[in-house]
Structure 1
Amino acid sequence: MSQEIVPLKSLEAVLSWQSSSQTELARSSVELSHSFSRCRDTPKTLVCHDMAGGYLNDRFVGGCDGSGYRFYHWQYLDMFIYFSHHLVTIPPPCWTNTAHRHGVQVLGTFITEWNDGKQVCSEFLQSSRDYRSLANKMVEIMKYYGFDGWLINIENVIEEDKVSHLREFVAYLTQRCHSEMTGSKVIWYDSVTRSGELKWQDQLNEENKMFFDACDGIFLNYNWDETKLQNSYNIAGTKRVHDVFVGVDVFGRGCPGGGGYNSCECSQAMTKIRQANLSAAIFAQGWVYETLGAENFTKNEDRFWQLLHDYCSSSTFTSPLLCTSFCQGEGQKYFCKGEVAKDRPWYNLSLQQVQPTFNIQGQRSEGKNLELTTSDGYMGGGCLLLRGEVRREKEKLWFNLFQFDAPVSTVLYVTFTSKGVPDNIKPVLSLTLSKGGNSRVLCLGEEEAEEVVRKKLRTTVEEVWISPHEQDSRFNSWQNRNKWKTRCFRLEERLVCGWNLQGLSVGISADDKEQNIVCLYLGQIQILTEPPSSPSSSVQNLTCSCLKQEERDPGGDNLYSLQWEDAGYRYVQYYNVYQMAGDSVLVGQTLTPSCVLSLNSSCGSELCVQTVRRDGVVIPLTDCPSCHLPD
């Protein structure tokens, strides 16, 4: 059992909301990353996630056994809206955590609908005091849970004498969000007009512009045409044209193109939107999972976003630092340092690692393929599987993974962990750098006997081969199991300082001339400014208490609250909690120094907290603190 996040279903529930020990664990803990950038002068893309009413397996704060929908094409998004048909939709922290890790903002939803919605609006729009009280509480909720703003979706008639108050509510909410959280957003959905009529315009025009002017953008309804797009462009003006998000309903309800894969085809919705130089709001992208099922989800999801690739600007890293095991936040097993720590399906999007910024589908062609596999892994629920056919001796198959625009000003330590099939696979990690009109390609591998070998490819292009660095004892202390191997490299200042990191790729080849099918499991990549830290735990004051009888799991197990302090918390990626008996059993995972677990004491009375650090170091269980379950 894991604590759950729930929406607020009534105006009374919103206005009376207070933080408590019950809500503490449901807060997101990952701040919005500023290590990603997108072109400022290009249209934006948001996703509005509406799936089966929301709050499915993603509602469990600490994750759960089983599976669920996951999103991993973050490089295409500027915003992610979590949507449901409850009055106030608070995004589950797993979505905020993983979106923030990828530099994507997350918005909650405020929605009123039909007759019940009309009554709610009549109440909170009675006076400026009423709508300001609501807005203040919404800002408080946003700050507490750590998301980045609101979608305002009013789908009911507004009494004419209250329309001005509605506009003022939107303006006041926007102003308060901005003052309390830099960069926060409030988006208005195209539904109610300036007269209070419920009449979708499918465009920005004088009927809804008063709300657009009061906030950060408008989400247009789906029944638009090219004329309405041009009207929207003209009304918005050049300074705010990219604040107009044109709705694309992936289920095809009235949307040009008919929805589904058609919503992405060149002749359909996205083409028209981008030709008008407007932003896009993709509604219910989980259509792939809902209608086509989970069995071939990755293949279908990659196909969907491949069709969108040319219409979405991709993010780039603006920092040279990187640490990822490619886990997507679920798996058939949980792997820790190459060993199986949990041998059953699990789902926890908070544990999703940074995903490649290059188009995965674009790495697939005749003779080579790149995909996520959950059959094996180094850390988390899976790893990348690179495979293909080598047709010529010493030929390498190259796979592009990350694009950067990151200045380098210090020595870099690079590690990558992999295993090949067959064992003689020779992986090479390639970093491309630029300075002025010159390029430098650093090839990190084992093919050259000397430490550094330079090759001039062209007048402006230099290739530098670098052998593994084995001098640092902390590198040598790393242990790899089940044929996983970690290679470690030190990139001296003379090679990287003053240069701009542009891209990261991986190449594979084989020694055996008879072996033309090569396969590499890529478990982890790190780019650090210092060697991985020594594996010692900084967890202190670990305590466990049993929650009172009425809060116990109806299944019969006891609920326990586990808390601790961590002097090095800012370096922590997440924690694994084990119940120790004859064997160690993984029973929980959390991003913060606390969790609530449903446990049976007959399975072991001792709990152990293991730290997984941001630099990839995993503290050995023998060095981790433990405590006993209370009697």
Structure 2
Amino acid sequence: MQVFGGEGGDGLGFMPALAAPRVFFDSCDGFFTNYNWREEHLERMLGQAGERLADVYVGVDVFARGSVVGGRFDTDKSLELIRKHGFSAALFAPGWVYECLEKADFFQNQDKFWSLLEHYLPTHSICSLPFVTSFCLGMGTRRVCYGQEEAVGPWYHPSAQEIQPLFGEHRLEGDGRGWVKTHCCLADAWNGGSSLLIRGVIPPEVGNVAVRLFSLQVPVPPKIFLSLVYKLEGPSAVGVALELTTGDAGSCHVGGIMMLNGEVMRPVSLSPAEMSSRQSPRPLRVPPTKLARWVGRCGQQLSGGWVQRCYEVSLRGCLLQDLFVSFSRPPGSQEEENFTCRLGEIQVVDANSLLAPLPQVQAMTISHVRWQAAASEGEGRPAGLRLSCTLHWSYLLPHVRCFRVHCCRGTGGGSPGRGLSEPEKPTFLGLAFINRYRIVDLAVAPVGPGRDGRVEFLVEPVPKEGFLVPRAEWGRAAMLYSMPRT
């Protein structure tokens, strides 16, 4: 357990809490100050905090109430002073962006607010593979599964949120005509409820622009597989590609980058001056044989106008540091190029992991069953039934993004020779992010005397690598039911 102290409402700084007596600060793991402070208060606290500067959390009110250095879109002024003196920050009420500004511009304002603070906040790097994100915010106006719409209407599920990129507005060096802006957008999605929208201008004197999306600190396996799903909106011939930077993890060696025509680049050993260099792998129209089972969409036009590009890179002794998306002008173009690109998904995976057999959904059970009669749908027709139950199964969670839960409902005849009829096409029920899913008031077919009802539940694992698992490999559990004889 950690213990944090805080000062009274009328204090201006940290000093009174240290002065009488210091033992209180020494007994705490950290201390929060009020947000009505000036730089002189920070200077006085330097000597009192000693070596524990990072344990002092200087308050910053985003609403800018009272006498403050900065708030709202000037919050970076407060962060600048706090970092100048080596303290930590306690950011209070960043909900100002939503509560006080136009709701329709929330995503743009949210990105603007945090991009202003980006220089003063630590970046959490991706440290392991596979790294996969569809930029889903865990919400949307509809739900999409790999380009196919599966549900229309607003939804919200925090567990469905995936890793978000480093946002910001980027202006190119020069006369300022070149720029790139990124923000999340609910208007379209490849998987989930949102995608990353990137808009920009490539001026005539610039060949390409690159946007840093993610920071990584990943030791690279011998061979990595990358995938980019994107689409350009409107008429545009701008080229889109992934780029990554590598750093020294001993002695970095680029063994080969697969080219579009299947050739392999000459192996390159990086010199110390090149240890943090940017690699631009070329897309594969057809993936290597070992990957063909899992990746069949590479280089193809997908539904909804999406395109998937695949890459394979051989590295040894390297450390992945950054992931970029690059936009280049068409060959021969001398004009200013405007572009709007939507990113649907990025994958960086260990190629060998795609060869390992998938774990199976096992030990699937149905428990906590509750039946409830529903109103009859018409005169002379039996009353409907509502089923509530809990599904449970075993699976290694690090291997999946989520589980898709389905059901098949049907009835069978009571004649011993007939058995059960074929179940209907699976109906999608929802997403699960743990090995458990609660079903509430599911409508099932009513049954008459001498007949059985049947409902089957299916659990489809969704691997992080993004491929579809055949239905024969889903987990399943069936329930037979009948009306009690009177």
What is the TM-score with the length of structure 2 in the denominator? Answer: 0.75
Q: Which has a greater percent of strand? A: 2
1:300 maps to amino acid: N
Q: Paired residue for 1:576, among 396, 404, 407?
A: 404
Counterpart residue number, 2:306: 484
Structure 1 residues 423 and 276, CA gap change in structure 2 (3 angstroms): closer
> Structure 2: how far apart are the matches of 1:282 and 1:527?
33
> Structure 1: how far apart are the matches of 2:93 and 2:390?
37
| Contact 2:365–2:393 (8 Å) recurs in 1 | no
1:360 maps to amino acid: G
Structure exhibiting the larger radius of gyration computed from Cα positions: 2
Counterpart residue number, 1:505: 324
Counterpart residue number, 1:247: 59
Counterpart residue number, 2:136: 327
Counterpart residue number, 2:190: 378
How much has 1:477 moved relative to structure 2?
A: 4.1
SS at structure 2 position matched to 1:215: coil
SS at structure 2 position matched to 1:450: coil
**Paired residues for 1:167-246 under 5 Å:** 177=1, 185-191=2-8, 200=11, 202-204=13-15, 205-207=18-20, 209-238=22-51, 240-246=52-58
How much has 1:294 moved relative to structure 2?
A: 3.1
Counterpart residue number, 2:463: 613
**Paired residues for 1:388-427 under 5 Å:** 388-392=200-204, 395-421=207-233, 422=235, 426-427=239-240
How much has 1:304 moved relative to structure 2?
A: 1.0
SS at structure 2 position matched to 1:379: coil
| Contact 2:170–2:179 (8 Å) recurs in 1 | no
> Structure 2: how far apart are the matches of 1:440 and 1:510?
30
2:223 maps to amino acid: V
> Structure 1: how far apart are the matches of 2:250 and 2:288?
34
> Structure 2: how far apart are the matches of 1:226 and 1:218?
18
How much has 1:570 moved relative to structure 2?
A: 3.3
SS at structure 1 position matched to 2:54: helix
| Contact 2:255–2:268 (8 Å) recurs in 1 | no
Encode CA deviations 1:300-325: one digit per residue, 9 max, x unaligned.
11111122123223333344652212
The answer to whether 1:306 aligns with 2:115 is yes
Q: Paired residue for 1:281, among 73, 84, 90?
A: 90
**Paired residues for 1:511-550 under 5 Å:** 511=330, 516-529=337-350, 530-532=352-354, 538-545=360-367
How much has 1:413 moved relative to structure 2?
A: 2.1
2:363 maps to amino acid: N
> Structure 1: how far apart are the matches of 2:65 and 2:309?
51
How much has 1:549 moved relative to structure 2?
A: 7.9
How much has 1:630 moved relative to structure 2?
A: 7.1
Bigger shift: 199-208 or 407-416?
Answer: 199-208
| Contact 1:406–1:500 (8 Å) recurs in 2 | yes
Counterpart residue number, 2:104: 295
| Contact 2:130–2:464 (8 Å) recurs in 1 | no
Structure 1 residues 213 and 201, CA gap change in structure 2 (3 angstroms): farther
How much has 1:299 moved relative to structure 2?
A: 0.6
2:347 maps to amino acid: Q
Structure 2: runs of 5+ lacking an equivalent:
375-383, 410-423, 446-453, 482-486
Q: Which has a greater percent of helix? A: 1
> Structure 2: how far apart are the matches of 1:236 and 1:391?
50
SS at structure 1 position matched to 2:308: strand
Counterpart residue number, 2:74: 262
How much has 1:447 moved relative to structure 2?
A: 5.8
SS at structure 2 position matched to 1:245: strand
> Structure 2: how far apart are the matches of 1:574 and 1:466?
31
Counterpart residue number, 1:11: none
| Contact 1:220–1:245 (8 Å) recurs in 2 | yes
| Contact 1:609–1:624 (8 Å) recurs in 2 | yes
Encode CA deviations 1:19-43: one digit per residue, 9 max, x unaligned.
xxxxxxxxxxxxxxxxxxxxxxxxx
Encode CA deviations 1:581-607: one digit per residue, 9 max, x unaligned.
776554322211112233331599544
> Structure 2: how far apart are the matches of 1:476 and 1:419?
24
> Structure 1: how far apart are the matches of 2:312 and 2:142?
33
Bigger shift: 366-375 or 532-541?
Answer: 532-541
> Structure 2: how far apart are the matches of 1:436 and 1:544?
49
Encode CA deviations 1:551-590: one digit per residue, 9 max, x unaligned.
x9xxx99573332222433312221223457765543222
Q: Paired residue for 2:243, among 410, 430, 434?
A: 430
Q: Paired residue for 1:360, among 168, 184, 188?
A: 168
Structure 1 residues 442 and 370, CA gap change in structure 2 (3 angstroms): farther
| Contact 1:442–1:465 (8 Å) recurs in 2 | no
SS at structure 2 position matched to 1:334: strand
Q: Percent identity?
A: 27
Structure 1 residues 402 and 464, CA gap change in structure 2 (3 angstroms): closer
SS at structure 1 position matched to 2:19: coil
> Structure 1: how far apart are the matches of 2:394 and 2:32?
43
1:246 maps to amino acid: V
RMSD: 3.9
Bigger shift: 309-318 or 219-228?
Answer: 309-318
> Structure 1: how far apart are the matches of 2:386 and 2:366?
12
> Structure 2: how far apart are the matches of 1:363 and 1:630?
64
How much has 1:547 moved relative to structure 2?
A: 5.1
Bigger shift: 438-447 or 203-212?
Answer: 438-447
Counterpart residue number, 2:412: none
| Contact 1:533–1:615 (8 Å) recurs in 2 | no
The answer to whether 1:598 aligns with 2:440 is yes
| Contact 2:371–2:385 (8 Å) recurs in 1 | no
Encode CA deviations 1:388-426: one digit per residue, 9 max, x unaligned.
334559933321112234433532222222233458653
> Structure 1: how far apart are the matches of 2:328 and 2:355?
32
| Contact 1:323–1:615 (8 Å) recurs in 2 | yes
What is the TM-score with the length of structure 1 in the denominator? Answer: 0.59
SS at structure 2 position matched to 1:254: coil
The answer to whether 1:343 aligns with 2:157 is no
Encode CA deviations 1:492-524: one digit per residue, 9 max, x unaligned.
2xxx21223222111123648679433332222
SS at structure 2 position matched to 1:350: helix
